[in-house]
Structure 1
Amino acid sequence: MYAREGLLVLAATAALTAFAMLDGEPPRPGLPLLAGAGLAAALPLTLRARFPLTGALLSAAIALLGLVIPGWQGRLVTMVMFGAAAFRLPRRAWLVMSLSIGWTAGYGLLIPRSHAGLSVVTDLVIMGVAPVAVGHALRLHGERAAQAARLDHAEARRAIAEERAALARDVHDSVGHHLTAIRMQATATRRALRGRAPVADRALGTIAELSATALDEVRALLDSLRETPTGPDLEEIENLAKRLSTPRLPISVHRAGRSTPLPPAVGHTVYRVVQEALTNAARHSGASHVEVHVLCDRTAVTVSIADNGHGRAGAEGRGIRGMRERVDQHGGTLMAGPREDHGWRVEAVVPIGQGPGITASRGQPSSMAQDPT
């Protein structure tokens, strides 16, 4: 790191010295003076990461002092430093812009007329505005790229989770059912024989025992595939908001109500609804702020995700359908649509007392509603 910073300072010093030798009019200043001035102007570059604005102001002062040297271009380093300040301090962009323009105006007033070269307006645009604009644009580009990477990572994790859940359902519906049927048939046959055939009784007992062991192993596999969270996931919602927040799209989370742990399935559903809604807001809303409200009471969890962007009209997409299916499994409700003033809102009510599959079993005979696995 120190070697890289040293090479940067040496390169800037050499460039400033060469520019002064080429642009300066006879009689040219001595080489030691030019090299010393170039080194003084290049040293603030080492502050561009930790103290960018301080480095920019220090470089501006050195550039003004360097006006006494004919042909010296120390202001080039100052332009770079103000661009770095705009990149590192996105929330102070207007302050950086004001200081840059103020320094440029002072430089234009103090520069000798014989060395002015450019008009005041041109200097204001090139030296004052352009570096700050470029630095801020690079910052926005980096934020968009980082946010896109985080969203892609979240999408990949969600796709993996959904694939694992689908696999768990398939195993549950097929293998679990058949193992249970084998065990029940073996047990019923043993009871019918009532020990009259000892060899068959032992074989049937072995079949019942093996099927029970296999069923336990399948259940353990399903628990690992279903990715069931161990807590209410409210802390995970805050971590998710922190990961997706940017200076251009801050996300705030507000919690109210009881603080006791939620059933794992309920917390998992709430988390997935918030994840999908925040992903949609970051990708499509064009909003400048998103608010997440989570209210927990004795009977249900109500979660609301609202942004101040433009409403997203059109047919219900796969993301909303997925959220609705998750909430429907608990007998809850989900609403997604434009807000009255502007923006988009997703609101879900997930009952705590009901688990997945209860609504699907309503109106069915009790033997059909029971799950043997």
Structure 2
Amino acid sequence: MYARQGLLVLATTATLTALALLDGRAPQPGLPLLACAGLAAALPLTLRNRFPLPGALLSAAIALLGLVIPGWQGRLVTMVMFGAAAYRLPRRPWLVMSLSIAWTIGYGLLVPQAFRGLSVVTDLVIMGVAPVAVGNALRLHGERAAQAARLDHAEAGRAMAEDRAALARDVHDSVGHHLTAIRMQATATRRALHNRAQATNRGQAGHAEAGDQADGGQVDAADRALSIIAELSATALREVRALLDSLREPPAGPALEGIEELARRLSTPHLPISVHRAGPAIPLPPTVAQTIYRVAQEALTNAARHSGASHVNVHLLRDRAAVTIAVTDDGHGRAGADGRGIRGMRERVHQHGGTLTAGPRQDRGWRVEAVLPIRQVGGQGAA
């Protein structure tokens, strides 16, 4: 820092001395006097950051004293100092402007008549107004650049927060669904094995054949549930890897036809899930199809986890204007009431200009319904 200040003072001193030597309008004093005057005029530059206005006033006084040296251009440093004061003092622009104009008028009155080469108005504009205007302009430009940088930083933070929320929502929707399905199937397996153990304990020699048939049915049910658990575990692992890959490239959304597979995964003997489709098979935009799939996934997961229902129905209706999905159950009326899953579904649906309602049914159970408009392009349903 001090090295830069020293170089600035030396460069300014050399410049002022050279300008005075090149001025041929009057006999020049000796080089030592010009160098000392240039050094005195350059020293206030060291005050431009911490004490800009006192430094400008000190420079103005030195410039007025330097009028005794013919052709000396110390006023250039004073102009720079007033520009620095305008840059550093944003709350007192009129004070800086007034002092600059006052100094310019005083300089114009005191300059010897033989060296007056400019009009009073030109002197006021160039020496008094222009440096302050330039300082203010540079300050405003710096403030705008800083504001733009802050906005960019805030926008980057907002985008990062949205990405984190979207990733958390995807993990909740996808992995949470598979873990719930695994839990449901594991519970069904334990129930089947428990029933088999009870039947074995109660079995008698006279009913051996009937007991063997019952055991065979329980074993088949347990084997089917374990197979589904293995499949769901592999699918959950693949989707976790896909979510991690989505941090690098956009993921491909699940197909709408996968709703039947969702129902099959979550269905148990105690909770059958039915899927009903209606309307023409109009192609949907990929993002709309993905949102419908995620709504079905979250609603079915909540129904299996929270509702205590004995049956769940999924109704999917498509027409040329919108696609509607409704998931209803006959449970006790609370299927993940307005938790993170419901908020995630609502955010997804609202991004497409749709509506989502979730709440208890009039008779019994819970209902989740989402309506998403289909934006047609060129008369087609595809995006």
Question: Into which bin does the TM-score normalised by the smaller protein fall?
Answer: 0.5 to 0.7
Pair 1:108 & 2:108 matched: yes
Q: Give the whole-Å Cα distance in 2 for the aligned partners of 1:58 and 1:360.
A: 73
3-state DSSP of counterpart to 2:118: coil
Q: After the TM superposition, which of the residue ranges 172-181 and 82-91 deviates more from structure 2?
A: 172-181
**Aligned AA (1:118):** L
**TM-score of the two chains, using structure 1 as the length reference:** 0.56
Q: Give the whole-Å Cα distance in 2 for the aligned partners of 1:138 and 1:164.
A: 39
3-state DSSP of counterpart to 1:152: helix
Question: How big is the shift at 1:199?
Answer: 10
Task: After TM superposition, list the pairs within 5 Å mapping 1:223-372 onto structure 2.
Answer: 357=342, 360-363=357-360, 366=365
Question: How big is the shift at 1:25?
Answer: 3.5
Alignment correspondent of 1:123: 123
Q: Give the whole-Å Cα distance in 1 for the aligned partners of 2:2 and 2:357.
A: 65
How many residue pairs get matched?
Answer: 233
Q: After the TM superposition, which of the residue ranges 172-181 and 122-131 deviates more from structure 2?
A: 172-181
Alignment correspondent of 2:161: 161
Q: Give the whole-Å Cα distance in 1 for the aligned partners of 2:112 and 2:165.
A: 74
In structure 2, runs of 5+ residues without a counterpart are 198-214, 248-337, 344-355, 369-383
Relative distance call for 1:168 and 1:360 in structure 2 (3 A) is farther
3-state DSSP of counterpart to 2:117: coil
Alignment correspondent of 2:187: 187
Alignment correspondent of 1:330: none
3-state DSSP of counterpart to 1:67: helix
Q: Give the whole-Å Cα distance in 2 for the aligned partners of 1:114 and 1:192.
A: 115
Question: How big is the shift at 1:78?
Answer: 0.1
1:230-288 deviation line (CA, Å, top 9, x unaligned): xxxxxxxxxxxxxxxxxxxxxxxxxxxxxxxxxxxxxxxxxxxxxxxxxxxxxxxxxxx
3-state DSSP of counterpart to 1:142: helix
Alignment correspondent of 2:85: 85
**TM-score of the two chains, using structure 2 as the length reference:** 0.55
Q: Give the whole-Å Cα distance in 2 for the aligned partners of 1:10 and 1:54.
A: 21
Alignment correspondent of 1:59: 59
Alignment correspondent of 2:75: 75
Question: How big is the shift at 1:135?
Answer: 0.6
Alignment correspondent of 1:7: 7
Question: How big is the shift at 1:27?
Answer: 2.5
Alignment correspondent of 2:264: none
Alignment correspondent of 2:145: 145
Q: Give the whole-Å Cα distance in 1 for the aligned partners of 2:183 and 2:156.
A: 39
- 8 A contact 2:26–2:71 mirrored in 1: no
**Aligned AA (1:361):** A
Q: Give the whole-Å Cα distance in 2 for the aligned partners of 1:9 and 1:97.
A: 25
- 8 A contact 1:44–1:55 mirrored in 2: yes
Question: How big is the shift at 1:361?
Answer: 2.3
Question: How big is the shift at 1:172?
Answer: 1.3
**Aligned AA (2:86):** A
Q: Give the whole-Å Cα distance in 2 for the aligned partners of 1:26 and 1:88.
A: 38
Alignment correspondent of 1:96: 96
3-state DSSP of counterpart to 1:90: coil
Alignment correspondent of 1:331: none
**Aligned AA (1:120):** V
Relative distance call for 1:96 and 1:193 in structure 2 (3 A) is same
Question: How big is the shift at 1:367?
Answer: 5.4
3-state DSSP of counterpart to 2:153: helix
3-state DSSP of counterpart to 1:91: coil
Alignment correspondent of 2:170: 170
CA RMSD of aligned residues (A): 3.3
Alignment correspondent of 1:255: none
Pair 1:42 & 2:39 matched: no
- 8 A contact 1:16–1:74 mirrored in 2: yes
Task: After TM superposition, list the pairs within 5 Å mapping 1:19-34 onto structure 2.
Answer: 19-34=19-34
3-state DSSP of counterpart to 2:71: coil
- 8 A contact 1:20–1:34 mirrored in 2: yes
3-state DSSP of counterpart to 1:362: strand
**Aligned AA (1:362):** G
- 8 A contact 1:24–1:70 mirrored in 2: no
* Matched-pair identity in %: 79
- 8 A contact 2:26–2:70 mirrored in 1: no
- 8 A contact 1:28–1:70 mirrored in 2: yes
Q: Give the whole-Å Cα distance in 2 for the aligned partners of 1:31 and 1:153.
A: 54
Question: How big is the shift at 1:24?
Answer: 4.6
In structure 1, runs of 5+ residues without a counterpart are 226-353
3-state DSSP of counterpart to 1:176: helix
1:2-43 deviation line (CA, Å, top 9, x unaligned): 111100000000010011111153421111100000000000
Question: How big is the shift at 1:368?
Answer: 5.8
Question: How big is the shift at 1:156?
Answer: 1.2
- 8 A contact 2:360–2:366 mirrored in 1: no
Q: After the TM superposition, which of the residue ranges 97-106 and 146-155 deviates more from structure 2?
A: 146-155
